[in-house]
A and B are shown apart, each in its own frame.
Chain A
Amino acid sequence: MNIVVPIKQVPETSNVKMDPVTGTIIRDGVESIINPLDLYAIETAIQLKETYGGKVTALTMGPPAAEKALREAIAMGCDEGVLVSDRKFSGADTWSTAYVLVHAVKKLDDFDLIIAGERATDGDTGQVGPAMASALDIPLASYISRIDSVRADGMTVERLVEEGYETLEIDLPALLTVVKEISYPRLPTLRGKQKARNTELPVLTAEDLEVEEVYLGLKGSPTRVVKIETPKVTRGGTILKAVDEESMNDAIEELVEFLKTREMI
């Protein structure tokens, strides 16, 4: 089973800065990690490979420094890493990102499955996975929480929806987006880290992908960020101390009064 896992490098902390001109994230000087929700996709892919054979290829689009994410993925157990990188890609929205990733996937060996994280914790859209399935015209199962069984031409999976869990049968090749419930991501091993250091990571540029330039980067993106605001977080509410019986009772009385005033009880 050949599996491709598209991953994203995201800022380690939430204290990131935005470029006021382009409205995109300034990534310089911020420690970067693999999007935490992608780790579940990587783990799921490695487990499938361990059971059914084949290989796992981690794929990312980003600046040259994003190769660190690919090496981390290999250290966990992915076999290969492919970096899609070109200045022309910068500022891409989800449409343009999916467009480029799909062209990159087509350059790789034939795959049976693409497994993506539910969404990235920085952009928080969850749009690239479904968009890739759409552009590749392969079936999509999103928000997958469990893989029940795998056959040569399809699989049975559980999908986490608001009201419960759906069971879906899906033909292969397919694209899954997975939620946290599906696996416990393993830590990189020492051997994996050694392998990661010694693995060559091919870099695919716009020219390699045979993409149309009008669809690339900020200029090729249908959406534009036109304004960035930093919302005020502090509410300045009433904060009471409950240190002894009296202050405890007072605090509870005041809370009950507060809830009454706000028509919550």
Chain B
Amino acid sequence: MEHKGVWTIAEESEGSLKSVSYELLSRGRKLADALQVELVSVLIGGPVSDERLQELIRRGADRVLFVEDNKLSSFTTETFSNVLSDLIRSRKPEIILAAATVNGRTLMPHVAMKIHAGLTADCTELAIEPETGNLLQTRPAIGGNILATIKSPNHRPQMATVRPRSSKPLDADPARKGSIERIELDPALIDKRVRRVGFINNEGEEGNIQEADVVVSGGKGMKKANNFGMLTELAHQLGGTVGASRDAVDRAWAKYPQQVGLSGKTVTPKLYVAIGISGAIQHLAGMKTADIIVAINSDPDATIFQVSDFGIIGDLFEVVPLLNERLAKEKNR
């Protein structure tokens, strides 16, 4: 097949590269090495300095392909889709990985439809099938009850979105060499049917649960909104942010962007602390790939304990404040 090379889609915001760009490179590096092909980090965005682009090379890219224009500073599906499809048609990569972020999960299906490629959503494992060189894409489905491995044997490129935080960036290697190719935006590719006219950043409020190392979530057992204060304190002690179960969000104790689970977000933090959460299958779907799971619940039969590395059966209104006190002491030592 004439398609060759592995591409990962980098993301930038106001001139800084997002960490998912490096996570994807560590995924892409393995695939490119297995296939013995070039690994290209593709960036579509507003101005970014050479120094910052070098970081993509230090973290695994052989080449950076950068379509740079002020008009690309904010994401709009149609224009980004036009630009990426155009690059794919002219350069023919065999694999394209993007982050399973809001923008990645919008852009990739838009492009895949256009170029008639297979696309697998929210993969947690990627490998090359030795006999065929096909990309094996593994993803949880049906509420995380199954792991499905998918391939696109007859279509190129093979496209996948990859769950953020499901891989670690490679250590930066200052000795790595690679090239940076800046490409001018073809004005014909600009589509103005959608215009971004405003943006409200609310990260300061709760923090993004998908990017946090530690997520402390509360459920029905929290009983009321005010009680979430002790979770905020615990999250603060552990250097994390506060999440919630669907029950808690439906009762307006927490906001929808904080919701973990099948109808909310999927998180993969280093540490997930479930407090007053029974562990409905829909909730487990959103957090069971966390490295470490800790649960505090008064019900000894709560399902959450089955998936926990550490659990305390007890009254959360006693356990959590005591734990907060104990952790505060630990810090002052």
Contacts and interface: CB of A to CB of B under 8 A. Distances in A.
Contacts of B15: none
Interface string A203-236: 0000000000000000001111111111101110
Contacts of B48: none
A16 B148 CA distance: 14
A198 to B, nearest CB: 32
Interface in A168-220: 168-171, 174, 179-181
Taking residues whose C-beta sits less than 8 angstroms from the other chain, chain A's interface range is 35 or more
B225 interface: no
A265 interface: yes
A93 B196 contact: no
B263 A180 contact: yes
Contact of A165 (B141, B144, B199, B318): B199
Nearest to A102: B113
A166 interface: yes
A126 B208 contact: no
A230 B141 contact: no
A239 interface: yes
Interface of B is mostly: mixed
Interface stretch (A43-51, A58-66, A78-86, A130-138): A130-138
A256 B327 contact: yes
A237 B191 CA distance: 53
B142 A265 contact: no
Contacts of A133: 77, 110
Interface residues of B, number: 95
Contacts of A224: 150-153
A140 to B, nearest CB: 5
Contacts of A147: none
A225 B136 CA distance: 10
Interface string A88-132: 000001110011000000000000000000000111111111111
A138 B210 CA distance: 30
A94 B110 CA distance: 11
B312 A124 contact: no
A123 B141 contact: yes
A53 interface: no
B122 to A, nearest CB: 7
Interface in A147-164: 156, 159-164
A200 B103 CA distance: 39
A129 B310 CA distance: 40
B121 A126 contact: yes
A138 B260 CA distance: 32
B312 A162 contact: no
Contact of A164 (B144, B200, B305): B200
B14 to A, nearest CB: 11
B312 A222 contact: no
B126 to A, nearest CB: 14
A21 interface: no
B198 A167 contact: yes
A248 B322 contact: yes
Nearest to B81: A134
A256 B238 CA distance: 11
A98 B152 contact: no
Contact of A265 (B117, B119, B120, B327): B327
A82 B121 CA distance: 28
A135 B109 CA distance: 10
Interface in B100-133: 101-103, 105-114, 116-122
Contact of B307 (A233, A243, A251): A233
Given A130-B77, A142-B102, A230-B145, A223 B310 contact: no
B202 interface: yes
Interface of A: 11, 14-16, 18, 23, 25, 36-37, 93-95, 98-99, 121-135, 139-143, 145, 156, 159-171, 174, 179-181, 221-231, 233-235, 237-243, 247-249, 251-256, 258-259, 262, 264-265
- The 3 A-B pairs with the shortest beta carbon distances in the complex, nearest first, are A242-B314, A222-B118, A167-B198
21 contacts: A95-B113, A121-B262, A122-B143, A130-B109, A133-B110, A140-B77, A140-B106, A160-B102, A165-B199, A166-B199, A169-B194, A174-B194, A223-B150, A224-B151, A226-B136, A228-B147, A233-B306, A240-B311, A242-B314, A251-B312, A262-B271
Interface of B: 13, 74, 77-78, 81, 101-103, 105-114, 116-122, 136, 140-155, 191, 193-203, 208, 210-211, 214, 237-238, 256-257, 259, 262-264, 270-271, 281-282, 284-285, 288, 292-294, 300, 305-315, 318-319, 322-323, 326-327, 330
Given A166-B74, A233-B284, A239-B312, 17 more contacts: A16-B145, A36-B263, A95-B117, A124-B142, A130-B77, A133-B110, A134-B81, A141-B77, A229-B149, A231-B146, A235-B307, A239-B300, A239-B310, A239-B313, A240-B311, A241-B300, A252-B312
